Amino acid sequence: MAAENSLKSREVSAMLKQGFISDTTLSFSPSRSISRLYSPSSSPSSKTLCSPPPPPFSAAQSPNSPSQTQMARPTSHSQTLYDMMNDEQYRESKLSDEKRRKLQERVAKLLEDAPFRIPNWGGLVSGDVRLTVVARDGFKVSMDVHKSILASKSRFFADKLRRDRGVSHSVEISDCDDVDVYVEAVVLMYYEDLKKRLIGEEVSKVLGLLKVCSAIMFDMGIATCLEYLEAVPWSEDEEEKVISNLSLLHLDETASEVLMRVSSEPSTSTQTDDILMQLLTGVLQAKDDKARREMKNVISRLLREDAPNNSNRLDISKDTLYHLCHRCISSLVLCLSEATSIDETQRDRGVVMSEIAREADNIQWIVEILVDKKMADEFVKLWADQKELALLHSKIPTMYRHEISRVTAQLCVAIGRGHILVPKDTRSALLSTWLEALYEDFGWMRRACRSVDKKVVEDGLGQTILTLPLPQQQAILLNWFDRFLNKGDDCPNMQKAFEIWWRRAFIRERASEQNNSQLQITVCDYPS
How many domains are contained in the chain? 2
Mean pLDDT of 34-52: 31
Average pLDDT of the chain, as a whole number = 79
Same domain, 376 and 499: yes
d(CA 186, CA 157): 11
What are the C-alpha distances in Å from 348 to residues 116, 330, 342, 351, 392?
83, 21, 9, 6, 19
d(CA 398, CA 112): 80
Alpha helix (H) residue ranges in 154-288: 155-160, 179-188, 194-198, 203-215, 219-231, 236-249, 256-259, 269-284
Does residue 213 lie within any of the structural domains?
Answer: yes
122 pLDDT higher than 80: no
Same domain, 255 and 110: yes
Same domain, 323 and 457: yes
Of 177, 174, 170, 225, residue with least CA distance to 203: 225
Q: Which residues contact 206 (CB under 8 A, 6 or more apart)?
A: 198, 225, 228, 229
CATH code of residue 110 = 3.30.710.10
Q: Which one is predicted more confidently, 169 or 150?
A: 150
Residues 309-318 have pLDDT tens digits of: 554 556 688 9
Same domain, 221 and 328: no
d(CA 423, CA 64): 77
Mean pLDDT of 470-488: 95
Same domain, 333 and 219: no
Mean pLDDT of 196-202: 91
Q: How many CA atoms lie within 13 A of 45 on its CB side?
A: 0
Mean pLDDT of 433-460: 92
Does residue 163 lie within any of the structural domains?
Answer: yes
Does residue 414 lie within any of the structural domains?
Answer: yes
d(CA 499, CA 501): 5
Same domain, 242 and 350: no
50-64, 97-111, 293-307, 384-398 — which is least confidently predicted?
A: 50-64
Same domain, 341 and 451: yes
pLDDT band at 78 (very low <50, low <70, confident <90, very high): low
pLDDT band at 101 (very low <50, low <70, confident <90, very high): confident
d(CA 159, CA 281): 61
Of 240, 374, 359, 238, residue with least CA distance to 304: 374
Same domain, 410 and 475: yes
Does residue 446 lie within any of the structural domains?
Answer: yes
pLDDT at position 239 is: 93
Residues 263-275 have pLDDT tens digits of: 766 555 577 788 8
Residue type, 54: P
The pTM score is 0.67
pLDDT band at 114 (very low <50, low <70, confident <90, very high): confident
Of 420, 437, 333, 433, residue with least CA distance to 384: 433
pLDDT at position 118 is: 82
pLDDT at position 26 is: 33
Q: Which one is predicted more confidently, 476 or 170?
A: 476
Same domain, 438 and 331: yes
Q: Could you say which DSSP state residue 201 is in?
A: -
Among 83-87, 303-307, 416-420, top mean pLDDT goes to 416-420
Does residue 92 lie within any of the structural domains?
Answer: no
In percent, the amount of the chain with pLDDT more than 70 equals 72
Same domain, 163 and 257: yes
d(CA 426, CA 429): 5
d(CA 465, CA 178): 67
Same domain, 368 and 494: yes
Same domain, 336 and 481: yes
pLDDT at position 166 is: 56
Residues 231-261 have pLDDT tens digits of: 999 999 999 999 999 989 888 777 888 988 8
410 pLDDT higher than 70: yes
pLDDT at position 71 is: 41
Would you say 184 and 190 are in contact if contact means Cβ atoms under 8 Å apart?
A: no
pLDDT at position 343 is: 62
Does residue 500 lie within any of the structural domains?
Answer: yes
Does residue 302 lie within any of the structural domains?
Answer: no
Does residue 119 lie within any of the structural domains?
Answer: yes
**Domain extent for 190:** 105-261
pLDDT at position 502 is: 95
pLDDT at position 72 is: 44
Of 332, 346, 486, residue with least CA distance to 400: 332
pLDDT at position 293 is: 93
d(CA 437, CA 384): 12
- Per DSSP, the three-state class of 510 is helix
